[in-house]
Amino acid sequence: MRPKKIKTVPSIVTTVIFSATLGACGGGGSSSTATSSNPGSGSAVPPAAPTSYTIGGTAIGLNGGVLKLQNNGTDTQTLTSEGGFQFSSITSGSPYSVAVSQHPAARQCNVANGSGNATANVNNVSVSCSPGQVSTLYSFTGANGDGQYPEAGLAQDSAGNLFGTTYGGGSAGPGTVFQLKRNADGTYASPVTLYAFTGAGAGGTTLNAGLIVDRAGNLIGTTNTGGSSNAGTIFELTRNADGSYSPAVTLHSFTGVGTDGAYPDASLVQDGAGNLFGTTIQGGSANAGTVFELARKSDGTYATPTTLYSFTGTASDGKAPEAGLVLDSAGNLFGTTSAGGAANSGTVFELVRGSNGTFGPAVVLHSFSGTGSDGAIPNSPLVADAAGNLFGTSSAGGAASLGTVFMLRRSGDGTYTPATTLHSFAGGSADGAYPDAGLVLDGAGNIFGTTNAGGSANSGTVFEIRRNSDGTYASAISLLHVFTGVGSDGNAPSAGLILDSTGNLLGTTNMGGTAGLGTVFVLN
């Protein structure tokens, strides 16, 4: 089935002048003052030269992001606003080389006057940052085992390699798991298909969700259908010692029987102990969806899933959790449901983790109404900032019924205020529409995301909402890229972004590219 589209201070170096009062030979009482390193010699000696110098300059154009600079690969300076910077002193005559080690998210920074030998204090290093540009890393072809229609986003391992899934393609058609290896120069190789699903036996089909990379480098994901009961699976590709991956192994086939879930549509999340948590759209005791856990055993295998909560679908509860979960530092679970709640427009919920490691029932933190500026149908995962505030998107609702970005602020007592709409999408050339994916935050708290439609070509956008210094957010949205679907450019991004260690934003588009079958892109 073809996926739908909708949618700076210089330091002061002080030279000490030595003074000596010299009496005239044989007396006379007259004296003279001279600078000398050898008093009485009568010869003038120049001031001692400085032994070290500082290197500094000015940075502009950060746009509220985080910029990290290094001199000679060390002495990292972190800037969160425009202005001056200064590195530690270096020995006189030594070389210096100022470089960017982390760009502000979605910005590209260039260094001028950044290298030379320190023969004086340097204060004219200039770092200028400007909006980044989207580059297509790969266009899927669907030919020769290649995937097509990457509906889900990307995952990245510690080496910077990218992993993802495609909804279709592969040797048998039901989708693939792929890898783009990161080269030493920071570029990426073309994707390699690590596994092509067949749809046969207990194998899964319909890959709507992305992957997670565990601490050992293994890849774990879900399929929406397939498996022994055609109700979806959890699968794993084990990383071998040589860096290759074994074929997918099914960890669990959902049945929808009893309290077991059915049709998982989202990526998993893993806690510090290696336990896995996820959601299913249906199944559970009321067939309204579940939250489940796969406990990790001491041998590295996983236990059969345990249903932590079955949604009831009533007015006081959620229904159909399409999105994955997020964990806070205490191990509490937060998520969204795409339906249910007081207005049947979806909810934000929490499962509180007790001191004994068990979880309480889901507590609704917000019920969406879909009226006024409030959103409706939140079908993407939440993200939390360092203060525990929650951010997400709704695919509908808002002032123009084209979706919203919302925030639930965490109070000092650990409770949450009802959702506040940060932006209502209006469509058209100056705005996006239908944000079907989750968000990502940079180190300064700025928000980045995608919309499935909107923009001048109605093919989707990458957007930013800037965080102000007082903790509020800008009222205007910034479009960082408008997709066109022309040439190699993508079309209809339905997944969220990831932010790498150098400040690049990476993602996928569901369609577009040279073959119209989707792309992997970078905004650097």
For the ranges 286-290, 421-425, 500-504, the lowest mean pLDDT is seen at: 500-504
Q: Do you know the residue count of the chain? A: 524
512, 489 contact by CB (below 8 A): yes
Cα 55 vs. chain centroid, distance in angstroms? Answer: 32
Q: Please check the confidence at residue 448 and state whether its pLDDT lies above 60.
A: yes
Q: Has residue 297 been placed in a domain?
A: no
**pLDDT for the residue numbered 289:** 97
Q: Which of these, 87, 97, 88, 91, lies nearest to 119 by C-alpha position? A: 91
For the ranges 158-162, 199-203, 291-295, 500-504, the lowest mean pLDDT is seen at: 199-203
Q: Which of these, 213, 205, 266, lies nearest to 236 by C-alpha position? A: 213
Q: Has residue 91 been placed in a domain?
A: yes
Angle at 441 between CA 436 and CA 443, to 5 degrees: 170
Number of domains in the chain: 1
The fraction of the chain above a pLDDT of 70, given in percent, is 90
Q: Which residues, in sequence order, are CB contacts of 138 under 8 Å at separation 6+?
A: 180, 188, 190, 191, 513, 519, 520
For residues 454-469, give the mean pLDDT.
Answer: 94
Q: Which residue has the higher pLDDT, 416 or 101?
A: 416
Alpha-carbon distance 490 to 461, whole Å?
A: 10
CATH code of the domain covering residue 97: 2.60.40
pLDDT band at 206 (very low <50, low <70, confident <90, very high): very high
Q: Has residue 275 been placed in a domain?
A: no
pLDDT tens-digit map of 367-380: 999 999 999 999 99
3-state SS, one letter per residue, for 71-130:
ECCEEEEEECCCEEEECCCEECCCEEEEEEEECCCCEEEEEECCEEECCCCEEEEEEEEE
**pLDDT for the residue numbered 5:** 47
Alpha-carbon distance 40 to 26, whole Å?
A: 14
Alpha-carbon distance 194 to 213, whole Å?
A: 14
- Helix (H) or strand (E) run with residue 163 in it: strand 162-166
Q: Has residue 496 been placed in a domain?
A: no
**pLDDT for the residue numbered 42:** 52
Q: Has residue 93 been placed in a domain?
A: yes
pLDDT tens-digit map of 370-428: 999 999 999 999 999 999 999 999 999 999 999 999 999 999 998 999 999 999 999 98
Tell me how far apart the terminal alpha carbons of the chain are, to the nearest angstrom. Answer: 33
Q: Has residue 17 been placed in a domain?
A: yes
Q: Please check the confidence at residue 77 and state whether its pLDDT lies above 50.
A: yes
The pTM of this model reads 0.81
Q: Has residue 112 been placed in a domain?
A: yes
Q: Which of these, 408, 464, 472, lies nearest to 441 by C-alpha position? A: 464
Q: Please check the confidence at residue 71 and state whether its pLDDT lies above 70.
A: yes
The CA–CA distances, whole Å, from 433 to 59, 265, 350, 403 equal 34, 22, 28, 7
Q: Has residue 110 been placed in a domain?
A: yes
The mean predicted confidence, pLDDT, of the chain is: 89
262, 232 contact by CB (below 8 A): yes
The CA–CA distances, whole Å, from 165 to 4, 108, 194, 228 equal 17, 28, 10, 21
**pLDDT for the residue numbered 46:** 67
pLDDT band at 500 (very low <50, low <70, confident <90, very high): very high
Alpha-carbon distance 194 to 212, whole Å?
A: 15
Q: Which residue has the higher pLDDT, 319 or 39?
A: 319
For residues 440-445, give the mean pLDDT.
Answer: 93
**pLDDT for the residue numbered 48:** 64
Q: Please check the confidence at residue 55 and state whether its pLDDT lies above 90.
A: yes
The fraction of the chain above a pLDDT of 90, given in percent, is 79
pLDDT band at 433 (very low <50, low <70, confident <90, very high): very high
Q: Which residue segment(s) compose the domain that 51 sits in? A: 8-24+31-131
The CA–CA distances, whole Å, from 221 to 96, 209, 232, 294, 501 equal 46, 7, 11, 12, 23
- For 459, list phi and psi in degrees, rounded to 5: -115, 10
Q: Please check the confidence at residue 2 and state whether its pLDDT lies above 90.
A: no
pLDDT tens-digit map of 118-173: 999 999 999 998 877 899 999 999 999 999 999 999 999 999 999 999 999 999 88
pLDDT tens-digit map of 112-133: 999 999 999 999 999 998 877 8
Q: Which of these, 293, 290, 352, 285, lies nearest to 318 by C-alpha position? A: 290
